[in-house]
Structure 1
Amino acid sequence: MTEPLRFAVDVACPVERAFRVWTSGIGSWWPADHTVTGEAGLQVVLDGRVGGRVYERTAGGLEHDWGEVTAWEPPSRLAYRWFLRTDRADATDVEIRFVDTGAGTTRVEIEHRGWERLGARGEAWRDRNAGGWSTLLPHYRAALPTR
């Protein structure tokens, strides 16, 4: 079994706000270079419900699915099947927990797993996604106060 990727980010805001910015506010911080098209003016959308889509919509109205929400537990937990830039059959799993650490701060814990579904490509995809998360998370942190 390929080891999951795990990341944690501490932010200086209540758990409700951290969850809301990750979910309904995702379009305000998700960078265009982490999308299918990279087009200016695109929207990133996360439908807030189990079975909801994670996708991008270009200015011309073209939509590209990235994932499907599998757990929706505001404001503490979110999970989705993730297939950005790959086939839906090759989806991995992302789980994000928002943990109240007191005094108005939140720890955002991310686990990205399921690499074994990709067979021989699993390790390479895991490594690629490790780099992706590392460059993505600073954008999220910048959208929130940090400590």
Structure 2
Amino acid sequence: MSEPLRFAFDVACSVEHAFRVWTAGIGSWWPADHSVSGEPGLTVVLEPGEDGRIFERTSDGAEHQWGEITIWEPPHHLGYRWYLRADRADATDVSIRFLSSESGTRVEIEHDGWERLGTRGGAWRERNHQGWTTLLPHYRDAVAGGSS
């Protein structure tokens, strides 16, 4: 069984702002190269609430679904089933916590469920590790852009 991917870092803003940037503001920081279409100018949407969708919409209106919200506890906890560039049946689980810290907010991410992918789990885990590593700086930059 593969271990979950875990990331933790601090951002200098309120918990509310950190959560809002991740959710309502996701379209402002999510890079096109971390999408299905890779199209510049695409719109990324995270619909609030349990059962909300995470998807991209291209300039011609095509939608590509990436995941579904499973935990919606603003501003402290967000969870979703994740299947960007994969079949929905192969979804993994992402849990993100936003915790008050001395410097503002501690963001803790756990990405799990690799065992559902069988022998492909290790390769998908590594691919997602690389994806998180290149994605998170975009989020941190967006948070720093407005620390309400």
Cα distance in structure 2, aligned partners of 1:67 and 1:57: 14
Q: Give me the identity figure in percent.
A: 69
Cα distance in structure 1, aligned partners of 2:8 and 2:95: 12
1:96 CA drift (Å) = 0.2
**SS of the counterpart of 1:64?**
strand
Q: Check if 1:92 corresponds to 2:92.
A: yes
Structure 2: state its 5+ residue gaps: none
**SS of the counterpart of 2:78?**
strand
1:9 CA drift (Å) = 1.9
Cα distance in structure 2, aligned partners of 1:116 and 1:66: 19
1:80 CA drift (Å) = 0.2
Please identify runs of 4+ aligned residues in structure 1 that moved more than 3 A: none
Mapping 1:1-147, distance limit 5 Å: 1-102=1-102, 105-145=104-144
1:4-39 deviation per Cα after TM superposition (whole angstroms, max 9, x unaligned): 000012100000000000000000000000000011
* Count of residues paired in the alignment: 145
1:102 CA drift (Å) = 3.4
Cα distance in structure 1, aligned partners of 2:8 and 2:134: 14
1:144 CA drift (Å) = 1.5
- Coordinate RMSD, CA, aligned: 1.0
Match of 2:18, as an amino acid?
A
Cα distance in structure 2, aligned partners of 1:74 and 1:11: 17
TM-score, with length taken from structure 2:
0.96
TM-score, with length taken from structure 1:
0.96
